[in-house]
Amino acid sequence: MSTRTILRVEGALLLAAALAGYRFTGGRFDLNLVVLALPDIAIAGYLLGPIVGANVYNLTHTTVLPLALLMVSMLSAAGSFLFPIAMLWIAHIGLDRMLGFGLKERAGFKDTHLGRILSD
Q: Residue 40: its pLDDT value, please?
A: 83
**How far is Cα 89 from Cα 15, in angstroms, rounded to an integer?**
10
Q: Residue 24: its pLDDT value, please?
A: 85
Q: Residue 54: its pLDDT value, please?
A: 87
Q: Give the domain ranges of the chain.
A: 3-109
Burial class (CB in 10 A: 0-12, 13-18, 19+), 69: middle
Q: Residue 94: its pLDDT value, please?
A: 96
Q: Residue 11: its pLDDT value, please?
A: 95
Low-confidence residues of the chain: pLDDT under 70: 31, 105, 107-120
- Hey, CA dihedral for 64, 66, 70, 75, is it positive or negative? positive
Query: Which H/E stretch holds residue 103?
Result: none
